[in-house]
């Protein structure tokens, strides 16, 4: 698929006016689920994700996430938002999807009085509602402030009188323990559809004065109701309460009752509740984390009977059509068993035993990596008590064999993991909830959002239009305004303004599967997208071809040997590098070499002003060299050495250290060279200096490392750290790069931002819930010789930044200020470099158009407007609400690019090129003020002329003419119109 995207600017040079158009291509391939596993090492299953998220949030001194500090940060954010301090940069945000991709969903509710009204709760993006049967979704307005800035929805229920209640936080996300993928809950809330408001019912802030990891309402795994009674399954037991006469639930914790006695008549059960289900007759089952389940025939106090049974995760379901029938799903990573009771839990029978790896709902497609503690769901057909669905990584179906004794049935896969718009059997991996309101209608909540069946599970369809809850780790943008991001369990999502047939307004295309991580664009040559997923999976895509890797043989061996979960990359490129040491040799011999239409032979004289054409080694772009003085070719074979100004450097973190290649954009390089720049392996972020001569590394151990002199060599000896020779008399034997630790900041370094106008200026961000500092500045990042005084905390004192994890930063290229992404939204400072450290002020930029969702990536397009249509535009990759952007810092064509045309009144043009995007045929439209000879020139971004379209003499007036772009390679171009 060859796509040319046409964007016309307002560039005027001489008697010409022009713009920029882009021809960019990918081949969309079928997305296949990529299991989170690696053959020779690495971390299996969801544990890799949980460990990575825990590292970003933990206090490095304890290795734990301190709940006190979580609450403290949240309270500071709330307090600051109520102060109405004017934001430093005053940015207004626009939600940019993806509106065709969901995210991790643990809660779904179909309204009992209107089946077209459906609610869905994501673990990081909040509560959404659909009023048209899940054709479209919208976030519940105003929920953020009421929820205490908490968007971690875990469960939802509806009482008999129609009231809707939902819980926040879940132990399955493991927010405090060795994992940490989840966001801390803050109690139970009510959504009132008639007023569109959210009301607190029972929260830590109002009910529990203590702020510790065992706080009863920090994690609500389950919520249920019968009549107007609410049942809350928390990390400290089950509690219940009835609404009083006015419909208000008790506002204090003392008004709620724990009905389950661990020892009859005395000790109450206070372990973590994993699941709750209750039938219309009061039959009830409650699953605890301490290998106990409790059952009751009438949900009365003291009526619960315990059963000790082994597993690490339980889920239960009571058959709606027969409340005597209970199902119990047990897992310990893999399936332990599926059990049934026909007498309300008095006795149990195993109907599906564990131990068969390839018929287990919790395993990957290769039958390994069970993750039953993370994704676990069960539901019973409301019309058939002997028919159930079980969800884990896979989706399974069990059907009773009528009359079987002992009880038996069929156990088969009900869906697969091969994503395609033409595959009716696809349901996204990692199912967390199944809702079955009628015999024919089924809703499944998974890491991919919401899926629906209207034929009882015979086929499925994703229903995510507007359900923008995707959890991104990273994002980048290209010169034509496209952008992409790597998302948890949703691969790499590319936004291309519908160029690949997306039918939704903000739809994206998945170009790589798995857990998408770091991404990058190259605007050189044909245009390249670099996408990654877990364990150093790396591909590049261009020219309509499917993505392929470009490792060297050594790097391929290292990658297949086991890698860190988080894949870290960084790309740098420039079209005219004054530091380039690359050269191209033109040879003139008896066969002749063509230069600008002339054939030059050995012995000829090349006249001054002659244009010599040659090809860049970096990406195959055609370059031109205008000979400044006569050159006499005296020998039978003579040569001219010309500088290759186009440069590209690409870095990848591996378990053996950071590797760099200069061949990432050289698509025709058969054996890309990779050089090991450092043996340091715990690198979590990277940043090149603006000139590409330095690479900065931020580590999980809190150090910032600078590798310098990257532009001084292009060979193994010059660049690879394993060459220890630095003082040899033979300069070709020496390594020229140096490595310097320039900061020890404590905590994981999550982001580094270099000032595009001054490489000495840098911002470093630090993760973790700690009482320490989380944002630092340097004014000598390039010249620093050590750690002393290089980075200074700019947490601030008057308007300080709340002490919360900070994940990324960007220094505005117009000099307006610094923007940072944090655990609680996006913040900014307009004096981060100009004020003394205590006087630096931080203000909340999350209030206009977005919410306090975690922001993992902040990116600004630093290319000037003659090179990019989105110059200065800022983009956010959030971990729970998809993409955002603002054009408030965008710039139009630079003033220096304009030439006053008033003296040339004969030339007036409103140049336009369309459609946008185009395939092979475009239309150029323009106006002329007088008759003149006219032509169109097309240049690549190095200034080389690649096509001329002579239009002949054109009369005064408006003109629209077709032109053929089929001969152009995929890439970025400048188009100009010349008249007279």
In eight-state DSSP terms, residue 256 is S
> How confident is the model at residue 929, as a pLDDT?
76
The CA distance from 791 to 752, in Å, is 12
Is the alpha carbon torsion for 480, 9, 506, 873 positive or negative? positive
> How confident is the model at residue 206, as a pLDDT?
43
CA dihedral 425, 426, 427, 428 (to 10 degrees): 170
Best CA proximity match to 688, nearest among 738, 754, 786, 763: 754
The CA distance from 440 to 741, in Å, is 62
Task: Residue 400: count other Cβ atoms within 10 Å of its Cβ.
Answer: 18
Structure tokens, 907? 């030339």
The CA distance from 127 to 835, in Å, is 40
The CA distance from 553 to 551, in Å, is 6
**What's the predicted TM-score (pTM) here?**
0.86
The model's pLDDT over 889-907, given as tens digits with 9 standing for 90+, comes to 998 654 444 334 334 444 4
The CA distance from 178 to 213, in Å, is 13
The DSSP bridge partners found for residue 500 are none
Q: In 3-state terms, what secondary structure has residue 827?
A: strand
Best CA proximity match to 606, nearest among 591, 583, 622, 588: 588
Is residue 239 within a helix (H) or strand (E), and if so which, with residue range? strand 237-242
**Residue whose structure tokens are 């394993």:** 722
The model's pLDDT over 905-919, given as tens digits with 9 standing for 90+, comes to 444 556 767 554 555
> How confident is the model at residue 31, as a pLDDT?
39
The DSSP bridge partners found for residue 749 are 766
The CA distance from 528 to 508, in Å, is 17
Contact 4, 922 (CB under 8 A): yes
Compute φ and ψ for 106, nearest 5 degrees: -110, -5
The CA distance from 211 to 72, in Å, is 9
The CA distance from 149 to 735, in Å, is 52
The CA distance from 613 to 625, in Å, is 6
* 150: CB partners within 8 A, 6+ apart: 74, 168, 169, 183, 184, 185, 186
* Nearest-5° Cα angle at 693, 583 to 765: 150
Residues 273-312: b if buried by 16+ CB within 10 A, e if exposed: bbbbbbbeebbbbbbbbeebbbbbbebeeebbebbebebe
Q: In 3-state terms, what secondary structure has residue 171?
A: helix
Q: In 3-state terms, what secondary structure has residue 519?
A: coil
List, for the chain, all residue ranges whose pLDDT scores fall below the cut of 50: 1-44, 177-180, 206-214, 596, 894-907, 916
**Residue whose structure tokens are 């990779």:** 674
Rg over alpha carbons for the chain, rounded to the nearest Å, is 31
């Amino acid at each position: 698929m060859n796509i040319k995207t046409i964007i016309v600017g307002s560039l005027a040079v001489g008697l010409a006016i022009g713009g920029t158009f882009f021809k960019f291509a990918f081949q969309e391939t079928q997305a296949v689920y990529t299991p989170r596993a690696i053959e020779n090492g690495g971390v299996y299953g969801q544990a890799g994700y949980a460990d990575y998220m825990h590292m970003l949030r933990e206090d490095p001194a304890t290795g734990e996430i301190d709940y006190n500090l979580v609450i403290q940060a949240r309270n500071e954010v709330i307090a600051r938002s109520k102060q109405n301090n004017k934001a430093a940069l005053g940015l207004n945000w626009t939600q940019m999807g993806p509106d065709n991709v969901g995210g991790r969903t643990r809660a779904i509710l179909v309204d009992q009085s209107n089946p077209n009204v459906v609610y869905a709760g994501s673990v990081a993006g909040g509560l959404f509602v659909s009023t048209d049967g899940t054709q479209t979704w919208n976030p519940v307005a105003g929920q953020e402030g009421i929820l205490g800035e908490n968007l971690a929805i875990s469960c939802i229920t509806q009482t008999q009188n129609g009231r809707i209640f939902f819980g926040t936080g879940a132990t399955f996300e493991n927010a405090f323990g060795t994992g940490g993928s989840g966001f801390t809950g803050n109690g139970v809330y009510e959504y009132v559809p008639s007023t569109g408001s959210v009301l607190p019912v029972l929260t830590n802030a109002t009910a529990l004065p203590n702020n510790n990891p065992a706080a009863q309402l920090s994690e609500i795994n389950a919520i249920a109701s019968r009549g107007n009674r609410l049942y809350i399954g928390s990390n400290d037991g089950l509690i219940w309460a009835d609404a009083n006469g006015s419909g208000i639930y008790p506002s204090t914790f003392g008004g709620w009752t724990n009905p389950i006695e661990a020892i009859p008549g005395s000790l109450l059960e206070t372990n973590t509740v994993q699941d709750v289900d209750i039938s219309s007759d009061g039959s009830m089952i409650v699953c605890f984390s301490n290998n106990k389940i409790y059952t009751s025939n009438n949900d009365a106090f003291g009526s619960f009977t315990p059963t000790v049974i082994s597993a690490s995760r339980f889920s239960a379901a009571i058959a709606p059509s027969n409340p005597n029938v209970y199902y119990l799903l047990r897992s310990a990573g893999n399936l332990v068993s599926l059990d049934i009771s026909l007498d309300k839990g008095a006795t149990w029978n195993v109907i599906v035993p564990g131990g068969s790896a390839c018929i287990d709902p919790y395993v990957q497609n290769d039958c390994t990596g069970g993750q039953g503690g993370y994704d676990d769901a069960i539901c019973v057909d409301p019309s058939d008590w002997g028919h159930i669905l079980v969800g884990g990584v896979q989706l399974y179906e069990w059907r009773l064999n009528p009359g079987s004794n002992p009880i038996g049935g069929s156990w088969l896969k009900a869906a697969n993991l091969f994503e395609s718009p033409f595959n009716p059997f696809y349901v996204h991996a990692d199912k967390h909830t199944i809702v079955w309101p009628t015999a024919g209608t089924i809703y499944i909540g998974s890491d991919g959002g919401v899926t629906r069946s209207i034929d009882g599970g015979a086929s499925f369809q994703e229903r995510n239009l507007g359900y923008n809850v995707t959890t991104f780790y990273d994002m980048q943008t290209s010169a034509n305004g496209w952008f992409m991001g790597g998302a948890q369990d949703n691969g790499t999502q590319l936004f291309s303004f519908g160029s690949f047939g997306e039918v939704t307004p903000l739809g994206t295309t998945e170009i790589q599967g798995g857990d998408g991580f770091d991404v990058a664009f190259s605007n050189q040559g044909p245009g390249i997208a670099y996408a990654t997923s877990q364990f150093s999976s790396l591909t590049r895509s261009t020219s309509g071809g499917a993505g392929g890797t470009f490792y060297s043989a050594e790097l391929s061996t290292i990658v297949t040997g086991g890698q860190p979960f988080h894949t870290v990359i960084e790309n740098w490129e420039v079209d005219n590098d004054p530091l380039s040491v690359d050269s191209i040799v033109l040879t003139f011999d008896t066969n002749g070499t063509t230069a600008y239409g002339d054939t030059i032979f050995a012995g000829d004289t090349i006249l001054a002003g002659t244009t010599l054409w040659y090809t860049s080694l970096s990406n195959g772009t055609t370059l031109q060299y205008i000979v400044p003085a006569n050159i006499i070719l005296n020998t039978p074979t003579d040569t001219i050495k010309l500088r290759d100004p186009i440069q590209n450097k690409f870095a990848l973190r591996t378990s053996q250290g950071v590797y760099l290649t200069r061949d990432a954009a050289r698509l025709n390089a058969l054996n890309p060279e990779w050089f090991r720049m450092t043996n340091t392996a715990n690198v979590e972020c990277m940043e090149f200096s603006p000139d590409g001569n330095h690479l900065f590394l931020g580590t999980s151990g809190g150090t910032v490392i600078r590798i310098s002199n990257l532009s001084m060599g292009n060979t193994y000896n010059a660049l690879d750290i394993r060459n220890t020779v630095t003082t040899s008399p033979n300069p070709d034997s020496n390594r020229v790069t140096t490595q310097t630790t320039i900061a020890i900041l404590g905590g994981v370094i999550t982001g580094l931002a270099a000032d595009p106008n001054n490489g000495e200026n840098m911002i470093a961000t630090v993760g973790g819930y700690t009482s320490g500092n989380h944002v630092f500045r340097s004014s000598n990042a390039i010249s620093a010789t050590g750690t002393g005084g290089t980075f200074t905390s700019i947490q601030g004192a008057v308007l300080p930044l709340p002490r919360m994890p900070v994940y990324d930063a960007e220094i505005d290229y117009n000099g307006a200020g610094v923007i940072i992404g944090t655990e609680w939204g996006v913040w900014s400072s307009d004096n981060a470099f100009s004020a003394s450290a205590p006087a630096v002020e931080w203000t909340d930029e999350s209030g206009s158009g977005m919410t306090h969702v975690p922001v993992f990536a902040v990116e600004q397009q630093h290319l000037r407007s003659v090179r990019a249509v989105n110059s200065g535009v800022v983009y956010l990759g959030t971990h729970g609400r998809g993409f955002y952007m603002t054009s408030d810092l965008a710039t139009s064509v630079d003033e220096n690019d304009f030439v006053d045309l008033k003296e040339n009144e004969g030339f007036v043009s409103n140049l336009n090129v369309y459609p946008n995007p185009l395939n092979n045929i475009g239309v150029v439209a323009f106006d002329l003020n007088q008759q003149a000879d006219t032509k169109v020139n097309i240049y690549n971004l190095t200034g080389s002329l690649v096509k001329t379209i002579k239009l002949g003499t054109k009369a005064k007036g408006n003109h629209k003419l077709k032109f053929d772009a089929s001969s152009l390679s995929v890439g970025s171009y400048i188009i100009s119109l010349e008249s007279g």
